Amino acid sequence: MSRPPHRGPVSWQGSCEALRGLSWKNLLLLFWGFRGYLLFILDLLVFFSSIILAYHLRYHVDSIVRFIPPPEATPPTIIPFLKAATVLSISWLFILAGNGEYRNSPQLLVSTHWPLRNLLNGGFLAFVFLMVLGVLYHGLLVSRLVYLLSLVIALLAASSARLLRQWLENYLCGQGILQEKLVVIGGGRRAAEFLKHLKSHNASVKVVGSLEANMTTTAGNGDLGLPTLGGLRDIAAVWQRLPFDGLLCIADEDGLSSGYLDRELMMLAVNFCESHQIPFYMVPDSLGVAVTSREIDVCQDYPIIELRDASLHPGYKIVKRLMDILISLLVLVLGLPIWCCIALLIKLTSKGPVIYIQERVGLEGKPFKIYKFRSMVENADAQLKEMIDLENLPEPVFKIKEDPRVTPVGRFIRRWSLDEVPQLVNVLSGTMSLVGPRPEQVDLVEKYNLWQRRRLKAKPGITGYQQILNRGIPSLEKRTVQDLYYLKHQSFWLDLFIIAKTIIVVIRGDGVK
């Protein structure tokens, strides 16, 4: 039976034991395991009620605010304030969620972060957004004094909740009740010094063992004074036996080339941690994975990076899906006469079906059927084996210039990328997106190494960042680097830029031979 999803310092088994024991320590641990969700609910109540409370203070509680001039007219109805409270709550929560404020995972990087920074920045942006909407839509245009009072109330209440959470965390750590279990990869003098600092300055962390990153040598772990739990190839079995809350990789002065750390095995560990929602921390080298400033910090004078999948903003995921559906429907419906003409030309000029169907690899390596207008002769797949030796390719990617299998009509629709229009059906079904990494063939993906497979961590797209930069250039390394850059920095505005640039690239005919 598979293990339930990882939720941070408190394992699923620990939560069940807490329910059975019902001791105060277990109850604290149980609630602590869901602290992100609890903080989200508390913030929702605080943000919404702050405007309502400010409304009553302004118009109905004169004794508390005698220094404020009384309203000249009859107090306004509360309806506009309820609308404003709804907009404020949603926008503020979205901003905080996008900054990882409600994560339940261990927070090894908070040592130098001011805990109220995200709250203040989010509050400022949310109130600016609310006031701009108030100018555009007068139903949200309420008293500026109410806005000011509600901002003060919300910041005081939400800040108190965070300070209380910090005090509770320090108390639980001081009592030895709450400790995050870390497993270490690496060794050498640098690792020993870092762990010594960590043990003396961070009571919330307990290093429970080490993993060998290079099974050809055991050097580097014995001098850490930690039990060896196994090798990185056995990381799944180790986690089943001893569920840990974070994985900490410490490179020596020479980085991954020191002999302690094998790059392929390290990538295996990164992928495992991402799939199980386990924080992966690293004292650089960074494995060539793009990181953002929020994931870099200093812990006891050591630079430390948290490697993880791009933290997609909840609002971005919704907007991206809506954009996929609306644009796909618009193009399919408005261009229906053109698509029918293309289908008729394909049918009249060459043998075979109008729609070409092939199995491709999608999100997380799951196969799916991709649809395209057929641009080649009927037996094109059989001819490919005679033209390309797929088993002996220097890397799993290829590009055939002046492909003789392409039909005259196919050459035209390929020139204008019209052969990809049926993929909009894939977008509507959810197996693809308008923007994302290129969907590759199954037999090529089977030859990917662990680093190259990281480009499968998003839905494939009809167009994408690497498609507009390297259209027609068969370099998998370059494609992968650019795909990973997009996955780390994807946003609504970047998607719009890629779509606009795609139109320019298609018109110019870049990469078409």
Residue 120 forms part of a structural domain:
yes
Residue 435 forms part of a structural domain:
yes
SS3 18: helix
Residue 220 forms part of a structural domain:
yes
Closest CA to 400 of 417, 376, 418: 376
User: CA 182 to CA 208: how far, in whole Å?
Assistant: 6
Which of residues 174, 196, 222 is at a domain's end?
174
Q: What is the pLDDT of residue 403?
A: 82
Residue 3 forms part of a structural domain:
no
β partners of residue 354: none
Residue 28 forms part of a structural domain:
no
Which of residues 281, 307, 333 is at a domain's end?
307
Q: Which domain holds residue 403?
A: 314-508
Q: What is the pLDDT of residue 274?
A: 82
Highest mean pLDDT among 99-108, 177-186, 188-197, 282-291: 177-186
C-alpha pair distances (Å), 492 with each of 118, 313, 374, 463: 21, 10, 32, 14
CB 181 within 8 Å of CB 241 = no
Q: What distance lies between CA 136 and its chain's CA centroid?
A: 33
Do 415 and 325 fall into the same domain? yes
Pairing of strands 440-441, 461-463: unpaired
Q: What is the mean pLDDT of residues 489-512?
A: 84
**What is the CB neighbour count within 10 angstroms for residue 34?**
16
- Count the alpha carbons within 13 Å of 320 in the hemisphere toward its beta carbon: 22
Q: Which of 65-69, 449-453, 501-505 has the lowest mean pLDDT?
A: 65-69
* 261 pLDDT more than 90: no
Do 277 and 357 fall into the same domain? no
Q: What is the pLDDT of residue 429?
A: 94
Do 461 and 326 fall into the same domain? yes
Place of tokens 């920095």: 489
Q: What is the pLDDT of residue 11?
A: 46
Do 374 and 481 fall into the same domain? yes
Residue 244 forms part of a structural domain:
yes
Do 326 and 421 fall into the same domain? yes
Do 163 and 110 fall into the same domain? yes
User: CA 181 to CA 173: how far, in whole Å?
Assistant: 12
CB 94 within 8 Å of CB 118 = no
Could you read off the pLDDT of 459-498 as tens digits, one per residue? 999 999 988 887 666 677 788 888 888 887 888 888 999 9
Do 437 and 364 fall into the same domain? yes
More confident site: 34 or 2:
34
Q: Is the Cα dihedral 88, 91, 97, 98 positive or negative?
A: negative
The helix (H) or strand (E) run that includes residue 135 is helix 117-136
- Whichever domain contains 256, its CATH number is 3.40.50.720
Which of residues 307, 326, 359 is at a domain's end?
307
Residue 513 forms part of a structural domain:
no
Q: What is the pLDDT of residue 254?
A: 47
Q: What is the pLDDT of residue 73?
A: 59
Q: What is the pLDDT of residue 307?
A: 60
The helix (H) or strand (E) run that includes residue 181 is strand 180-186
The helix (H) or strand (E) run that includes residue 507 is helix 492-508
* 125 pLDDT more than 60: yes
C-alpha pair distances (Å), 137 with each of 44, 52, 111, 129, 269: 23, 19, 42, 12, 50
| Number of structural domains found in the chain | 3
* 28 pLDDT more than 80: no
Do 201 and 348 fall into the same domain? no
Query: What are the backbone angles phi and psi of residue 252, rounded to the nearest 5°?
Result: -80, -175
Do 218 and 272 fall into the same domain? yes
Residue 97 forms part of a structural domain:
yes
Do 367 and 481 fall into the same domain? yes
Do 503 and 359 fall into the same domain? yes
Could you read off the pLDDT of 135-161 as tens digits, one per residue? 787 777 777 888 888 989 999 999 888
Helix H, strand E, coil C: the string for 474-490 is CCHHHHHHHHHHHHHHC
Do 491 and 349 fall into the same domain? yes
Provide the whole-model pTM: 0.56
